[in-house]
Amino acid sequence: MASTTDVELTLASGGRGRGRSAAWKKIKRSRFLYLLLLAPVLWYVVFAYLPMVGVLIAFQDFSLYKGVFHSDWTGFDHFKRALTDAGFWAVFRNTIILGTVTFVFGFPAPILLALLFNELRDGLFKKAVQTISYLPYFVSVVAIVNIAMIMLSPSTGVVNGFLKLIGLHEIYFIIEPGWFRPLYVLINLWVGTGWTSIIYLAAMSSIDTQLYDAAKVDGASRLRQIRHVTLPGIAPTITILLLISLPSIVATNFEMVLLLQQPITYSTSDVVGTYIYRHGILNSEFDYTTAATVIFSIISLAIIFASNRIARKFGETSLW
């Protein structure tokens, strides 16, 4: 006669078997969805995870002839060089300043634009204005920077033409170090504000219209409706996008900075991306720049974890 333990084991194994069978049935039933998922998973594996093997270069005296797995090991020498290099800390400071200023002005701008769009009642005019605000996002960075340079030209630019018209002297925006950061922030606002506002508009569309009706009955003005209905309604979306955007403080648009900067403006325009580009690509210091990239990646990861922990502690919305 079978013991109680044998019966329990039999039942347990039978339960596991039924569980596996049910799982395979679900997979088979949703096989086309899994096939669709396969493409992005493979993309991330090939282009995001496999290249991470290259991090080993940061600990080597890397040689293109020897390759990643046969180059001589140097330990943390490149990290020590980066952390004691005055140039490294100069571009780090520039990156933080440029990223912070861009974040301070760039994060609330789409929210304000979405609130303005939400208040428009003329459907045709609203769609036209929204479309115009989205367009710069789909234009290449090269074209955007060229348009900006044409507009800011000291001889033929519209901006300097207006300055001359009102009796002021022309300004050489592109070669003035003090103007680089304002120009970078303004161009970023021009490119990204309209596109990001779509997310907030989608969040606003999910707010119950009865809340607005109740606010009107209570005599709330449009501003009060925005303050007490719209903003609380999109607060979770704002929090999530805030957490996602915070790491941008230590990141910049490399292409835009590279196209806008001039050697004379390096004091304010030289950032992590251009620093790594010059040392890594132009000077072939792959090992040193890999170490510098690892340092910045760790800083970005720390910012993400810290901001998520703060959001989870003081609110109900977080990334995980």
Q: What is the 3-state secondary structure (H, E, C) of 148-171?
A: HHHHCCCCCCHHHHHHHHCCCCCC
Residues 175-189: what's their mean pLDDT? 92
Judge whether 24 lies within some domain. Answer: yes
Report residue 1's pLDDT band, with 50, 70 and 90 as the boundaries.
Answer: very low
Same domain membership, residue 244 and residue 175: yes
Residues 275 and 302 in one domain: yes
Residue 14 has pLDDT above 60, yes or no: no
b/e sequence 201-215, b meaning 16+ C-beta within 10 Å: bebbeeeeeeebeeb
Q: What is the spatial distance between Cα 230 and Cα 204, in angstroms, rounded to a whole number?
A: 7
Domain end residue (candidates: 22, 37, 61): 61
Within a domain: 29? yes
What are the tens digits of pLDDT across the range 292-302? Answer: 889 888 887 88
Q: What pTM was estimated for this model as a whole? A: 0.79
Domain count for the chain: 2
Inside any domain, residue 66: no
Single out the residue of 6, 74, 36 nearest to residue 285, CA to CA: 74
SS3 96: helix
**Residue numbers of the domain that contains 195:** 76-314
pLDDT-based confidence at 319, cuts 50/70/90? low
